[in-house]
Amino acid sequence: MSDSTQDLLQFPCQFPIKIMGHNVPELFPAICEVAAIHIETFDASMVESRESKGGNYVALTITFEAQSRIQLDNFYLALTSHPLVKVVL
């Protein structure tokens, strides 16, 4: 094994990404817009939504076929820099 960092993922692979934010009507379409830029085969039906107990927050999970580490990194950066997003896992 070399000294370079080895990727733990083998691409392409199914990858779930969870996005959390305040439960506002603008969140879902905003996340879909970002996802469409970074996921070639994106469709809104790929998004699973779950509200918090109090209803103040919502978690959106998108499971997609990631093509590369660069794609994942760019998608993650776009999501974390979005003003409606609080947490990305």
The yes/no answer on whether domain 13-88 falls in CATH 3.30.70.260 is yes
CA distance 56 to 42: 27
Contacts of 7 (CB under 8 A, 6+ apart): 69
pLDDT in tens, 25-74: 999 999 999 999 999 999 999 999 999 999 999 999 999 999 999 999 99
Whole-number Å distance between alpha carbons of 18 and 60: 6
**Ordered alpha helix ranges (H), 6-47:** 27-38
Could you tell me if 82 and 17 are in contact, meaning their C-beta atoms sit under 8 angstroms apart?
no
pTM (predicted TM-score): 0.89
